[in-house]
Structure 1
Amino acid sequence: MNCNKKFIEEQTIFNLPVNKTMDDLLSGYDTDGDKKITKDDAPQKDYYMMSTNGDTIILRNTYYISNLLQELAIAHEEHCENLTISLSQIQEPPAERISRRIRSHFWDNLTRTIDAKGLERIMDDEKMDDDHQRIYVPYNDSVGIEYFLGLQKKRRNLEVVILPPEITPEYVRSINELPGILSLKIENGKGVPFVVPGGRFNEMYGWDSYFEGIGLIIDDRLDLAKAMVDNFCYQIEHYGKILNANRSYYLTRTQPPFLSSFIREVYTAMPNKDENKEWLAYSLSIAIKEYENVWMNGKRYTPETGLNRYYAEGIGIPPETEPGHFRVILQEHADSYNLPVLKFEEKYKSGEIKDSTLDCYFVHDRTLRESGHDTTWRLDNVAADLNCVDVNSLLYKYEKDFEFLIATYFNESFITESGQTYTNEYWHEKTVTRKIRMKQYLWDDEKQCYFDYNIKTKKQIDFMAATNFFPLWAGLCTKEDAAHLVPILMSELKAQGGILGSSRASTEKYSNGLVNRQWDYPYGWAPHQMLLWKGLIDYGYETEAREMIYRWLWTITQNAVDYNGTIPEKYDVVASTHKVYAEYGNVGTEFAYITKSGFGWMNASYQYGLSLLDDEYIQKLDNLENPDTIFKV
């Protein structure tokens, strides 16, 4: 019986010499020398182990052997000479193991602070181009200025730069060769913590943080989720916006707006709401300030439609891109000047050559990056001209959240920090207006779907992308709209391993056979999955939601089982693999012995998906049952 088998497993204990066992495993099973044991290694022989009571146990499963390697690696790092481990630990079910490691290890490993203790980990990474550890501090953050100037006296290689009151594109360009970290909130002499995505993304990112927050709340890390909201509020107060990330070259760029949802979900999870009412009032006030100043009073608002767009200001080539990323576009312009491309690039960067067409291209490119979808053919060389479905859905959600929070917790009237009074009815009218305008400009009556609208050509673009379905998550669709949208989503964007970033047909049409873009077909991303699962559930499409949740979690689980616990940034969801051959590669796949952090929003999507699945499907997940078989494709 199973219960007897479980009992036997729990009584089967091994006491293993750590270094010798690791050497045995690597020499016998890591045939490609990557310090991992995966399905790509040569066919493997059985591994024999002697238990403490003298029984010989045979491991025949790559997953079990790689689990053992991982546990030995942890013991090695902890300077243990021997590892005592049970057979049941080695044979831990995959979903349970992945979830446990996210909860108990990954979040802590991804947590950072901008302070004396945390700076070393961030400032010694590959994005610092010179010998300085440079930190930029807002001119109006007296606490931060005092703290970091004090720290500078103790660290010879730390350079503290006080930012000017006005951050212009010209100023940001002037410091491109002096890269540094932007300070975040200092409280009680310490940096307020935050979670980073992982790998080379070693700073606080905009929309990543919201999705990570969902996972943190599920894993009872409310303190850390709340701290990230606090850092968002700091950024709005001191940098004027939620930054793309807290690096110096992102000062003119924001990211998709999720603050109202983040505030609402954190506050809902708080056990003592009365004690945290002041926190809610302050955070709500700051979110309204962001809504008004960043989105409604500037270039991100388009008066001709009454809708919004992404719009990232800046001058010249985005400095964070990899060398050669813009070689094709630069070559075209260099040829027109009869210059070698490197010489042209040098003269363009210095301002010696003025090229308005190229300037416009880089406005679109920065705007594409501000959208979080860097990169996609949907936004290529047109991003700043689009009223995108996604950003308008997110801002509709802001308006709905403001309406709800004021009606529920502030007796239908709320006074912001600046003294402005808002009622829930005011925000309700905003939602009604935005819904009408989105239906007018973004809804295609013939195709019965939302599409981005080009304010210059005054036409929708027919690009089928996951972002077209964000209205489901935001709750702005009628039931009739949802009844049209869901079948389109399931027919156009469903793949074996989850929801595609875009349809194959649209990607082929707009790419013209050029390079793959990582937010397009055949790739899938955690935020799209998480938003659309919730949208499907909220509109009563539980069956479709269950299928897409299972497909995504199966992809994560299967790859972790086959590849030594790998939890990467993204997947090819057509092939259901982390082996992605697109720009920038795949963060989270390079490690030795054991992954220590996975990837931020991927971790969150796993915890969120598990929280939505019934035990029946989690058991199927542990058995790695193929979704095409379960859902009879």
Structure 2
Amino acid sequence: MRLYKFALLVILITSGCTSDTAEKKEVSWSEFYKSDLFIQVQTESIFPDSKTFTDCTAKRPLSEILTDYNSKKSSADFNLKSFLEENFEIPGGVLSSFESDTSRSMKEHINLLWEHLTREPDQVSSLSSLIALPQSYVVPGGRFREIYYWDSFFTMEGLMVSGRRDLAENMVRNFAYLIDTIGFIPNGNRAYYLGRSQPPFFSCMVDLLASNNRDLYISFLPEMQKEYDFWMSGSDNLTKPGKAVRRVVKMPDGTILNRYWDDFPLPRPESYKEDVIVAKEIVSTGNESAGAEEKFRHLRAGAESGWDFSSRWFADHNSIATIHTTDIVPVDLNALLYFLELKLAQGYDWQGDQERARYYLGKATDRKAAINKYLWDDESSFYIDYDFVNDRGTGVLSLAASFPLYFKIADKAKAKKVMERLQGEFLQDGGFVTTLNKTGQQWDWPNGWAPLQWITINGLYNYEYNDLGNEGAQRWLSRNEEVFKATGKMMEKYNVVDISLLAGGGEYALQDGFGWTNGVALAMMKIFEEKEMVDEMRGDE
């Protein structure tokens, strides 16, 4: 009950919200997330997973449900769980009815899974938090019942290998639709994700899909431009170095780089109790310079990064109570935006607009120089994130350092130094570990994640460190295979240090399915299949 009261106080302070009244004719989902009913359900853990309630579908208008709740909640015989069951449809897991067969190969299993992870075009409904999409799409699995932004690029890699190009194209068209209708690509197609995006992989998706098809590529150029404008919003208002507006930061030399951000300084609805607990810990320390509202922003920005959560965002490299995400200029985000600038230049060149092509090529050149100036750390011989508030590197070594190799930002000398640390410290028995810090957070030691394996391994290939890339890929695929044979599942993440264990840490249980793991596994298998074909051809010669 003390937590419930604290949560109500936080919401009242940060939003000026009052309790629901019967006079309201319509209630939006954003309003519902501030209601007494929602706060009570989330803070009292009526459901084991905080995301469950946010994914429920109302059986009637939210305004009617809240009116009934407010009239009945004080009754002696009121049962909250029964009230929820009467008024909401409770969702299950994505693959709750799927039976795995380990007599199949892992490749066969993944190709069979695509059908079960695919969702058909959505129907618009105010009774659901789902943002309707016009084309079919693939969801990750487990508790993740909707499309996710950066997951989808790695899922698409597998779809393309599987010969499901049409489905991959549908996903790109869905993201273009979101950019056109919302103004950006949210974290996922849910109402509670409308304050933030995720790592901007849209240009990578277009590049993967369109390749040298100029007409198809140029058809997505307006959306790539709009995404860039979203990430650069406010840059014209930055006058002094060291200042930031939304997702843009002015560096000491005047260059504009980017950070992660979220538009709402409130607890995340899908992780409501977890965020309130962190905020309560901050308040209890008496740190007046870091109030609840600021911490909610840092937590949400950490979620926009996709690395929720990691020691990358912690001032002490250990405790989430010291999270300061919005103070940080991240390596991966700026590498992705460098690539977006290059792809804009390419698109305008193909369109015949040479002036704009030169403009974005110049932007990419400036960003590349800034990445190598501010995000390269001579002391550690590694790319690390930059704390622009304190004008120094964060000191956290992570696989984010692989992004400058993946996008060919590093020179050969820097790439060699990154490779040496990857080989000496990050490569473990099951693949590359995410960070070297043992915090208990899921994006830290001892966990490995499919997207970071793909970025790291292909980054190594880009600089002809093929042996290390192959070794990392083989260890990762072996880890996938071992867990599949033991459990019949493809996991969201894996313990790559102790391969006798599954992964752990984070705000929720280990999830299976799993979109980006499936995609990366198939794409890596193809690399080795093609390598074997080349070796055979050379042998025949």
The alpha carbon displacement at 1:307 in A equals 0.9
* Structure 1 equivalent of residue 116 of structure 2: 109
Gaps of 5+ in 1: 1-72, 78-88, 117-147, 149-157, 161-178, 186-191, 338-353, 415-420, 590-597, 619-633
Q: CA RMSD in A?
A: 2.7
- The answer on 1:540 being equivalent to 2:490 is no
Match of 2:356 among 422, 437, 445: 422
- Whole-angstrom distance in 1 between the partners of 2:454 and 2:286: 46
**Of 483-492 and 319-328, the range deviating more from structure 2:** 319-328
- Whole-angstrom distance in 2 between the partners of 1:325 and 1:362: 7
Letter in 1 for 2:502: K
The alpha carbon displacement at 1:538 in A equals 1.2
- The answer on 1:206 being equivalent to 2:149 is yes
Structure 1 residues 114 and 495, CA gap change in structure 2 (3 angstroms): same
- Whole-angstrom distance in 2 between the partners of 1:325 and 1:314: 13
- Whole-angstrom distance in 1 between the partners of 2:378 and 2:504: 37
> Are the equivalent residues in 2 in contact too, given 1:300–1:309 (CA < 8 A)?
yes
- Whole-angstrom distance in 1 between the partners of 2:341 and 2:420: 28
* Structure 2 equivalent of residue 166 of structure 1: none
Instruction: Give 3-state SS (helix, strand or coil) of 2:268's partner.
Output: coil
- The aligned runs of 1:522-537 (5 Å cut-off) are 522-537=446-461
> Are the equivalent residues in 2 in contact too, given 1:498–1:573 (CA < 8 A)?
yes
- The aligned runs of 1:43-442 (5 Å cut-off) are 97-103=105-111, 105-116=112-123, 148=124, 159=126, 180-185=129-134, 192-268=135-211, 273=213, 277=215, 279-297=216-234, 299-304=246-251, 305-321=255-271, 323-324=273-274, 326-327=276-277, 329-331=279-281, 333=283, 357-380=291-314, 381-407=323-349, 409-411=350-352, 413=353, 422-423=356-357, 425-442=358-375
Instruction: Give 3-state SS (helix, strand or coil) of 1:159's partner.
Output: coil
Structure 1 residues 90 and 108, CA gap change in structure 2 (3 angstroms): closer
- Whole-angstrom distance in 1 between the partners of 2:509 and 2:501: 7
> Are the equivalent residues in 1 in contact too, given 2:399–2:435 (CA < 8 A)?
yes
Instruction: Give 3-state SS (helix, strand or coil) of 1:524's partner.
Output: strand
* Structure 2 equivalent of residue 571 of structure 1: 494
The alpha carbon displacement at 1:355 in A equals 9.8
The alpha carbon displacement at 1:199 in A equals 1.0
Q: What does the per-residue CA deviation read over 1:364-386, in whole Å, with 9 as the maximum and x for residues that have no partner? A: 11000000001112113111011
Structure 1 residues 90 and 437, CA gap change in structure 2 (3 angstroms): closer
- Whole-angstrom distance in 2 between the partners of 1:478 and 1:366: 34
Structure 1 residues 322 and 360, CA gap change in structure 2 (3 angstroms): closer
- Whole-angstrom distance in 2 between the partners of 1:442 and 1:331: 31
Instruction: Give 3-state SS (helix, strand or coil) of 1:330's partner.
Output: helix
- Whole-angstrom distance in 1 between the partners of 2:531 and 2:312: 38
Structure 1 residues 299 and 585, CA gap change in structure 2 (3 angstroms): closer
Q: What does the per-residue CA deviation read over 1:282-340, in whole Å, with 9 as the maximum and x for residues that have no partner? A: 31121112112333545211123521111112132111116345425415526869xxx
Q: What does the per-residue CA deviation read over 1:450-485, in whole Å, with 9 as the maximum and x for residues that have no partner? A: 111111101111101011221001111111211111
- The answer on 1:606 being equivalent to 2:539 is no
Letter in 2 for 1:101: H
- Whole-angstrom distance in 2 between the partners of 1:308 and 1:604: 28
Instruction: Give 3-state SS (helix, strand or coil) of 2:204's partner.
Output: helix
- Whole-angstrom distance in 1 between the partners of 2:247 and 2:458: 27
Letter in 2 for 1:302: V
> Are the equivalent residues in 1 in contact too, given 2:283–2:291 (CA < 8 A)?
no
> Are the equivalent residues in 1 in contact too, given 2:402–2:456 (CA < 8 A)?
yes
- Whole-angstrom distance in 2 between the partners of 1:460 and 1:195: 37
* Structure 2 equivalent of residue 581 of structure 1: 504
- Whole-angstrom distance in 2 between the partners of 1:448 and 1:220: 41
Structure 1 residues 302 and 209, CA gap change in structure 2 (3 angstroms): same
- Whole-angstrom distance in 1 between the partners of 2:230 and 2:476: 37
Gaps of 5+ in 2: 1-96, 235-244, 315-322, 534-541
**Of 254-263 and 392-401, the range deviating more from structure 2:** 392-401
- Whole-angstrom distance in 2 between the partners of 1:366 and 1:518: 16
Structure 1 residues 355 and 616, CA gap change in structure 2 (3 angstroms): closer
Q: Which has the larger radius of gyration?
A: 1
> Are the equivalent residues in 1 in contact too, given 2:329–2:385 (CA < 8 A)?
yes
> Are the equivalent residues in 1 in contact too, given 2:250–2:256 (CA < 8 A)?
yes
* Structure 2 equivalent of residue 37 of structure 1: none
Instruction: Give 3-state SS (helix, strand or coil) of 1:321's partner.
Output: helix
The alpha carbon displacement at 1:410 in A equals 3.1
> Are the equivalent residues in 1 in contact too, given 2:231–2:247 (CA < 8 A)?
yes
- The answer on 1:443 being equivalent to 2:380 is no
> Are the equivalent residues in 2 in contact too, given 1:309–1:391 (CA < 8 A)?
yes
* Structure 1 equivalent of residue 7 of structure 2: none
Q: What does the per-residue CA deviation read over 1:486-511, in whole Å, with 9 as the maximum and x for residues that have no partner? A: 111111211110111101xxx14xx4
Q: Percent identity?
A: 30
Structure 1 residues 323 and 388, CA gap change in structure 2 (3 angstroms): same
- Whole-angstrom distance in 2 between the partners of 1:320 and 1:299: 22
- The aligned runs of 1:611-622 (5 Å cut-off) are 611-614=526-529
- Whole-angstrom distance in 2 between the partners of 1:335 and 1:427: 46
- Whole-angstrom distance in 1 between the partners of 2:248 and 2:457: 29
Instruction: Give 3-state SS (helix, strand or coil) of 1:477's partner.
Output: coil
The alpha carbon displacement at 1:236 in A equals 1.0
Q: What does the per-residue CA deviation read over 1:157-190, in whole Å, with 9 as the maximum and x for residues that have no partner? A: x536xxxxxxxxxxxxxxxxxx7112223xxxxx
- Whole-angstrom distance in 1 between the partners of 2:289 and 2:259: 24
> Are the equivalent residues in 1 in contact too, given 2:299–2:325 (CA < 8 A)?
yes
Structure 1 residues 544 and 90, CA gap change in structure 2 (3 angstroms): closer
**Of 370-379 and 321-330, the range deviating more from structure 2:** 321-330
Instruction: Give 3-state SS (helix, strand or coil) of 1:311's partner.
Output: coil
> Are the equivalent residues in 2 in contact too, given 1:566–1:588 (CA < 8 A)?
no
Residues matched between the structures, number: 416
> Are the equivalent residues in 1 in contact too, given 2:327–2:388 (CA < 8 A)?
yes
Structure 1 residues 90 and 468, CA gap change in structure 2 (3 angstroms): closer
Structure 1 residues 586 and 616, CA gap change in structure 2 (3 angstroms): farther
What is the TM-score of this pair, normalised by structure 1?
0.62
* Structure 1 equivalent of residue 9 of structure 2: none
> Are the equivalent residues in 2 in contact too, given 1:205–1:245 (CA < 8 A)?
yes
Letter in 2 for 1:385: D
- The aligned runs of 1:493-512 (5 Å cut-off) are 493-503=426-436, 507-508=437-438, 511=439
> Are the equivalent residues in 2 in contact too, given 1:235–1:241 (CA < 8 A)?
yes
